[in-house]
Amino acid sequence: MVLLLRAFSAFSNASGLKMNSHKSCAYFNGVNHRLKGEILSISGFVEGKLPFKYLGVPITAGRLKVTDCAVLIDKIVDRIRSLVAKKLSYAGRLVLVQSVLTTMHTYWASMFILPKGVINRVDSICRNYLWEGGTKFQRVPMISWQRVCSPKKEGGLGLKDSGLWNIANIGKLVWWMATKPDKLWVQWVYHIYMKGMPWHTYTPSADTSWHWRKVCHVRDIIQAGFVDEYWIIGNGAYTVSGCYNWLREKRIQVDWYNSIWNTVAAPKHSFMAWLITNQALRLKDRLYCYNVSTDDLCCICALSPETHEHLFQECLYAQQVLKFVLCRLGIQLRGSDILKQIARRRWSSGRKHVTTTAILAVWYMIWMQRNNARLTHQVISPWVLAGQILNSVKSRIQVCKSKSFSIRDGQWLSKVHMM
């Protein structure tokens, strides 16, 4: 303790910064009362009680408990309960989950192996908010969370699996131990815990810290990803995203990724197209099977069972809207798998983006009209709806002029009266 106080004094003399003993505490674990009294007398500190918070996270002497992480759960729930968060669409909720909620979790996940109860709670909050706009479970999600956590190229939404993301973040500590950088905590661990033993064969004893044993457990999980001291993915340097992709379950890449998630389409249209492509909407054919609906007929035409194929491809109303929109664009497409037909055309990327954006807007507006027909038994004229779709696409193009738009694309858009 004397050496530590001397170090503080030397730092104070060199920097001009002084330690405030009234705001400083000493924390003890496994120290007898006599030694504790001597340390407090020499330092002038008061004894602090565990656990305590440092930089917003709990510091404990033992195992991290679910109750210690309650502040993390409360912060996520408070962000969701804001008035703005409740009014967001599916696409808006997705952005909030990606940019805010999972970021809160990442800060904690980079320091601790979180308890499974906390991981499950974080996942359930994000899942319930994405599908219901709240924190409570009300209905079965349209698509499994495992699928949602897949990359967009593999048919998911690109969210992170909290458990695997936690392991990948702690894996950075493992990499630091393997490469032995000039870090104070690494040198301390080597002298106190390992005592010269090789890192890849070291086994922690039962009396070591719970947090340290968890770090060693993560080492055992990702050890196959190392060759000597180099990570097998990339240029040999460890990255959290690289380890996460190595840990997660791989899926086959979908062929509609570039069409649905193009840079010009409105996010809410892309999200709806993603649901349609996965046939996840709660249409009447599904509701009728569960005795939720009295019949399974299409809400718009009432001639055939309301399936995804019928509502967005076979329904006369949908065909008329799509035909008018494509006619204005000077394009002829027939049959199903329209997005595949567009991808196969030898068009510029700008023209493909515009055409795909129009298709996604058609699907979204047809879904809106379907819901309106179910509630009010009324739909607007297909020609009027097609005009609204073209206006929305035009506005979207003007706002999001992509670099992929060439001079020829601009000339084409002028001819079809889109610019």
- Over 90: is that where the pLDDT of 11 sits? no
Domain boundaries, the chain: 2-49, 165-247, 257-415
pLDDT at position 373? 92
Confidence at 164, pLDDT banded by 50, 70, 90: very high
C-alpha to C-alpha distances, 247 to 126, 223, 409, nearest whole angstrom? 21, 11, 42
Alpha-carbon span 175 to 276, nearest angstrom = 42
Nearest of 187, 211, 208 to residue 199 by alpha carbon: 187
Per-residue pLDDT tens digits for 168-200: 999 999 998 888 778 888 888 888 888 878 888
Confidence at 43, pLDDT banded by 50, 70, 90: confident
- What percentage of the chain exceeds 70 in pLDDT? 96
Confidence at 300, pLDDT banded by 50, 70, 90: very high
Q: At 178, which helix (H) or strand (E)? A: helix 162-179
- Which range in 83-92, 250-259, 269-278 is most confidently predicted, on average pLDDT? 269-278
Q: What is the pTM of this model?
A: 0.83
pLDDT at position 361? 94
Mean of pLDDT over the chain: 85
Per-residue pLDDT tens digits for 75-127: 888 887 775 667 788 999 899 888 887 788 888 888 888 889 989 988 888 88
Q: What one-character-per-residue DSSP string does 56-89 give? A: TEEE-SS---TGGGHHHHHHHHHHHTSHHHHT--
- Bridge partners, residue 230, by sequence: 227
**C-alpha 288, offset from chain centre:** 33
Nearest of 261, 264, 178, 266 to residue 218 by alpha carbon: 178
Of 229 and 197, which is predicted with more confidence?
197
Amino acid occupying residue 203: T
Strand segments (E) across 248-305: none
Confidence at 384, pLDDT banded by 50, 70, 90: very high
